[in-house]
């Protein structure tokens, strides 16, 4: 593991160099490299023949952060990503993959530096635009719950919520964020949204989108709209865990077949 300093935080990362194209893998909100592996969202497992960089977002996993909500906005996370990529892959286009918050971070980074990315594998895109306001309210309530009753109360509440069919049977996990930081992380997510339609439509980055059905936190409406706006070559919507199990092979194909115009 290596640590990399950015303003207000230190990022924990790991790097596997097997030659080949550069790939960066991100994770979702309150998750981490370790937790995504347990949840079968580590699409980079077994990704041979690449130079793979995986890291924990600020305040998540083994990375450090501050209890400041603005530090966890997607725009700030995108700046962290770009600084880390310039450190590891200076001046080189990179294939980006990540679920939910990781997907959003990649898109914000691409708006800032579109030439940095050779392609995307975007996984379970989060609520955005019209659906974001309601979700932001949920994050504020979750932050208040953690402050008043602790992280165990949040875990119990999440246990009561229905899970999408594609994740049923997955092991139960807890947020991989320190309890002292979790309210700020959640409020940072509440302050965030995807870039505007106009900015996304201006991107020319070959993209695959992997979504799953029946998940209000990751609605297929976002996936379909991103497919319309972006240079989307493939949109897949999983309804079962077996279909999700095929996603690493999709990333393998994406990473090894650069499709940037």
Question: pLDDT tens digits for 128-162?
Answer: 999 999 999 999 999 999 999 999 999 999 888 88
Within the chain, strands assigned E span: 2-6, 9-17, 22-25, 51-55, 94-99, 117-123, 206-212, 231-238
Q: Is the pLDDT of residue 69 over 70?
A: yes
Residue 120 has pLDDT above 50, yes or no: yes
- Number of domains, the chain: 1
Any bridge partners for residue 24, and if so which? 53, 96
Q: What percent of the chain has pLDDT over 70?
A: 98
CA 5 to chain centre: 20
Confirm whether 207 is domain-assigned: yes
Residue 7: left (phi > 0), alpha (psi -120 to 50), or beta?
beta
Does residue 110 form part of some domain?
yes
Q: 144-153: list long-range contacts, CB under 8 Å, 24+ apart.
A: 144/183, 146/179, 146/182, 146/183, 146/186, 147/183, 150/179, 151/175, 151/179, 151/182
Task: Give the domain range for residue 134.
Answer: 2-256
Residue 68: give its domain's CATH number: 3.40.50.1820
Q: Which residue has the higher pLDDT, 8 or 256?
A: 8
Q: Range with the lowest mean pLDDT among 157-171, 189-203, 240-254?
A: 157-171
Report if residue 47 sits inside a domain: yes
Instruction: Decide if 128 is inside a domain.
Output: yes
Tokens read off for 45:
């497992």
Cα–Cα distance between 191 and 164 in angstroms, integer?
25
pLDDT of residue 162: 82
Query: At a CB cut-off of 8 Å and minimum separation 6, what does 174 contact?
Result: 151, 155
Is 246 within a domain? yes
Determine what percent of the chain is predicted with pLDDT higher than 90.
88
Nearest Cα neighbor of 224 from 129, 118, 139 is 129
Class of residue 172 by CB neighbours under 10 A (exposed 0-12, middle 13-18, buried 19+): exposed
């Amino acid at each position: 593991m290596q640590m990399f300093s950015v303003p207000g935080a230190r990022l924990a990362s790991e790097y596997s160099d097997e030659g080949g194209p550069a790939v960066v893998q991100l994770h979702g909100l309150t998750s981490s490299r370790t937790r995504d592996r347990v949840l079968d969202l580590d699409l980079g497992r077994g990704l041979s023949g690449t130079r793979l960089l995986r890291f924990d977002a600020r305040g998540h996993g083994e990375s450090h952060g501050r209890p400041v909500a603005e530090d966890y906005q997607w725009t700030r996370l995108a700046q962290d990503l770009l600084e880390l990529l310039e450190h590891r892959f200076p001046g080189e286009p990179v294939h980006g993959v990540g679920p939910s918050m990781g997907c959003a971070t990649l898109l914000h980074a691409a708006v800032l530096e579109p030439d940095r990315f050779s392609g995307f594998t975007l996984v379970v895109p989060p609520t955005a635009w019209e659906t974001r306001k309601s979700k932001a309210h949920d994050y504020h309530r979750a932050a208040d719950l953690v402050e008043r009753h602790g992280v165990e109360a949040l875990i119990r509440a999440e246990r009561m919520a229905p899970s999408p069919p594609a994740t049923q049977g997955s092991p139960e996990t807890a947020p991989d964020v320190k309890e002292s930081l979790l309210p700020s992380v959640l409020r940072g997510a509440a302050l965030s949204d995807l870039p505007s339609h106009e900015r996304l439509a201006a991107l020319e980055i070959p993209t695959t989108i992997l979504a799953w059905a029946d998940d209000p936190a990751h609605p297929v409406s976002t996936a379909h709209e991103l497919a319309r706006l972006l240079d989307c070559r493939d949109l897949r919507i999983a309804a079962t865990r077996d279909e999700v199990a095929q996603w690493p092979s999709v990333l393998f194909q994406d990473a090894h077949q650069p499709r940037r115009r």
